[in-house]
Structure 1
């Protein structure tokens, strides 16, 4: 059986169940073994040991009860509105801002390119970059990133000379 990091009562329980289930997809194990092999430690293990035997007979029941018990640790999905609050710091490079923004944007399910581009442009502190984008608006995020990369490269060249 694959080794999976034990859930200790902190973090996203849904993610733990998904990771555990995915790791066992290619294994030929029945529900009883899944229930016994469910990797828990600390407070989560204490909770598991106190469960009535009826909850441990079915992995579906166990995982549903587990998620309900530890739901407070669940990571909530971000919305596109949360991206509007990401702004370039006064001493932050445009490259670092774009990288930080991209990491946060990946946490937003079904993010629309137009919303992401608006949030990126509003949060950018480089006025020349904003002017460049407003003159000829990019059609999608790929084009946006391409223009940003070229702009950053051109700024680096002018900063050296």
Structure 2
């Protein structure tokens, strides 16, 4: 019995294993014909939670969806602080929508209470284990906006109590800041020094491989946003295939193209491999916040957890995607129509006859801060190395 259970767990995407939902909800999958309502609104933890619950529940009733669908779609509406809150829910702790809604309302109740009462809750703000200092500082500032005047000593104590152990905390304990402004200035200065150290290490690494000839993905902890378009192309049902990726800045300007020859693979596998190529490339480039766009509904629904992953090959690739997702501070994926994904499609079709595992990069513009990757770095992105 235990062997069977372990086998099932190993085949499940990692993000489902961490889900706070019980099996009744986790094992529910929306029909293939289901379309996510366009009137679903997102919630980032900065407005009245009751308003979001009311609108969400109205939409669910209109579409006559079962309770498990309510739970899964509600998770889909959460972004920012709200999404981070959801990730903290204990595993296997939510079995009904009412439980989820109650937990949600209780957590964000501070948006409905008086500023003075909320001020007493600031001490509960904690820096997450993998949360960059820059992100924690920004979150702290957001929380104290609009709160009735308090002494600098109160805010300093609140900030320090939420800071995780490390060199910056030790520095603050050795040399306590005199004002809140002094604290914020020192936090910014410390973050800049970390960024400088990180850039220097990257520069050294980019000048050559490690001693054993291997390379690893960049693990930059700093906020950096990008948009990623991905697509795959297969000649015939199971013919020669290629993967195409388009990397854009948040303002929509082109940054680079990445392409990979995939050899002979089936449809949808090419889509997954294109997505994996793009995520690895974005990480290699140091991006930590990403919005992914693709025209494969199957990949989109499986990565979101709305559809079951039946194929063994697909299950493995979905696991790879979800493992890569965890490396980003923020990850969002959207399904777009084929016309909106034409650039990535063009890139994929360019390399269907390319050697299996060969990766090409084309950097747009001549920014000195975004130089083309070296050959050994491109090889580390290849699906042949998975």
Larger relative contact order (Cα-Cα within 8 Å, sequence gap ≥ 6) = 1
- TM-score with structure 1 setting the length: 0.49
- TM-score with structure 2 setting the length: 0.24
